[in-house]
A and B are shown apart, each in its own frame.
Chain A
Amino acid sequence: MTPSGTNLLGLVKHVASVELGYLGESREWLLCVYRQSWAHADKSVRSLGLEAPATVSWWSVADRRTTVGHLVVRMVAETAHHAGHAERVREAIVAR
C-alpha cells in the first residue's frame, strides 16, 4: 500500500517475528503466531521481572547485554509505531 511495500499482514508478521523469531504463511497462521507471542511475552515478562538480564544477539556487542525492562519499553515504542503505520494503511485501503 506504500512505495516501500507496507501492508497490514506484513506489519503483523514483522512484529510477530521480532517477538518470537518466526516467519509464516497464511493470515490465520500469522495472526495466531502474533497472539501466541503476546501470551508468551507477557508470561516471560511477568515471571522474570523488569530487572532480569536479557541478551539480544543481533545488537552491537556493546549494547546486547540488557534487561527485560529495556526490551519492554522498546516493544511498546515499536508496536505503537507500527500500529500507526497500520492505521494509515487501513485508511488508504478503505478509502479506495
Chain B
Amino acid sequence: MTSSDATDHAHPTMIDLLLRYLQRERQNLVGALDGLSDYDVRRPMTPSGTSLLGLIKHVATVELGYFGMCVGRPYPEPIAWDNEPAFEAGEDMYALADESREMLLDLYRKSWAFSDHNIRELGLDARADVPWWPEDRTPTTLGYLLVHMLSETAHHAGHADIVRESIDGRGGGDHDDVGDEEHWTAFVAKIQAAADAHRSD
C-alpha cells in the first residue's frame, strides 16, 4: 500500500478499474485449480474437452498476444504452441503431457506483469493491430483490447467454476460464505421443485 492508495481508491481512473477487475478474474481462474491433483487439472471435463490447466494455457496465450504483439511489443520468450499448426491441433487449449502445471501457471503470472506494464505505459488510446480479426475491426485501440480481455477472462473463469464444481463439488468463491452443506442441499431441492413444475417428460 502506498500513501496515494486511499485517493486512488476514491477516484480510480478507467485504466485502474479495468486492471483491478481483470486481476480479480485472473485470480478467480487460477483459484479454480487450488488443491486439485495434477490429473484433475489436466483431464477433459466437458464434451468439448475443457480442462482447468487448458483454460490457463489458453488465456495466457491470448493475453500475451493482445498486450504484446498486437501493441507492437512482442513477448520476448518463445511460446512453443504459438503458431498456426499448433493452434489447428488445439494445442493452446490443453496441457500436453510434457508441459508442467508450474510452467503454465508461471507463464500466466508473467503475462499479468508483462501486460499490466505495457497497458500502463502505452495507455488506453494506443493503436493495436489484431491480425486474426476481420479487417473492419482492426486496427483498434489498446483500451478496446483491455475490455475484450476482461470479458474473455471472466467468461473463462466462469467455465472454470463449473468445471471445478463438477470435479469435487467445490462451488464459486463465495460458496461457503452463503451457507453450509445443509443450506445448499435445501436450496438445490427448492430449485428442483420449482423446475419440476415445468417437466415435459
Contact = CB atoms under 8 A, between A and B. Distances in A.
B-side interface mostly = helix
A83 B155 contact: yes
Shortest beta-carbon contacts, A-B, top 3: A84-B158, A80-B154, A88-B162
Among A2, A69, A92, A95, which residue has the most Cβ atoms of chain B within 10 A?
A: A2
B46 A88 contact: yes
Given A5-B191, A88-B50, 6 more contacts: A3-B165, A74-B21, A82-B158, A84-B157, A88-B163, A91-B48
Interface of B: 12, 14, 17-18, 21, 24-25, 28, 46-48, 50, 147, 150-163, 165-166, 169, 171-172, 175, 184, 187-188, 191, 195
Given A80-B152, A81-B28, A91-B46, A5 B161 contact: no
- Interface size range on A against B: 20 to 34
A77 interface: yes
A51 to B, nearest CB: 10
A3 B169 contact: yes
Contacts of A17: none
A69 B46 CA distance: 36
B162 A77 contact: no
A73 B21 contact: yes
A76 B158 contact: no
Contacts of B25: 77, 81
B82 to A, nearest CB: 24
Contacts of B50: 88
A77 B151 contact: yes
Contacts of A73: 14, 17-18, 21, 150
Nearest to A73: B17
A76 B47 contact: no
25 contacts: A2-B166, A3-B184, A4-B171, A4-B175, A4-B184, A7-B191, A70-B17, A74-B21, A76-B154, A77-B25, A77-B154, A80-B150, A80-B158, A81-B158, A82-B158, A83-B158, A84-B156, A84-B158, A85-B159, A86-B158, A88-B46, A88-B162, A89-B162, A91-B46, A95-B47
Nearest to B159: A84
A21 B127 CA distance: 39
